[in-house]
Amino acid sequence: MFKTIADPADCEVRYVIRFLNAKKVKPTEIHRQLVEIYGENVMTDGMVRKWLRQFNDGRTNVHVEARSGRPSVVNNGLVAKVNEKIRENRRFTIRMLFDKFPQISKKFLHEIVTNRLNYHKLCSRWVPKMLTNVYKTK
C-alpha cells in the first residue's frame, strides 16, 4: 500500500498529470493514481481531462495564470482614512462610514473595519423597557 500525501500543492498535482501524460497514460488511470496517492479530494476526473487537453495543446506551464479582473479599490491609504474617521467618532456604524466613503461597498467597509483594523463591536446588555417593582428594588 502507498503512503498518502495530504494537502498537496496544486502545481504538484499538475506536474504529476503532465508527467503521466508524457508517458501516454490514459486519463482515467491518471485520475485513479492521483486519488490513490493524494486522497479523494485531490482533483475531479473532469479537471484532469481539462489539464490533459491543455498539455496536449502545447501548454507547458503548470501554474495558473493571473486573471484580469476588477481592480481592488482598497489600499493602505484608504484603510488609513477609514481608521481616521473611526477615531473621530467611536460610535460609528458601517452605514455612517458608507456615507463618507461611497466608493467602497458596505461589505468591504465591514471587512476593513473587522479584519484589517481589528475593531470589534461591543454590545451593551438589553434591559426591559418597563421595569417591574422587583427590578426597581434591585
Domain ranges of the chain: 10-57, 76-116
Alpha-helical runs (H) found in the chain: 10-22, 27-38, 45-56, 76-88, 94-100, 106-111, 133-137
Q: Is the pLDDT of residue 101 over 90?
A: no
Distances 34 to 6, 7, 64, 112, 134 between C-alpha atoms, Å: 12, 12, 19, 40, 69
Q: Which pLDDT score is estimated for 66?
A: 74
CATH T-level assignment (fold) for domain 10-57:
Arc Repressor Mutant, subunit A (1.10.10)
Which has the higher per-residue pLDDT, 128 or 87? 87
Which has the higher per-residue pLDDT, 50 or 110? 50
Q: What is the mean pLDDT of residues 13-39?
A: 94
Q: What predicted TM-score, i.e. pTM, was given to this entire model?
A: 0.51
Question: What distance in Å separates the CA atoms of residue 110 and residue 96, rounded to the nearest whole number?
Answer: 12
Question: What distance in Å separates the CA atoms of residue 19 and residue 1, rounded to the nearest whole number?
Answer: 22
Q: Which pLDDT score is estimated for 126?
A: 46
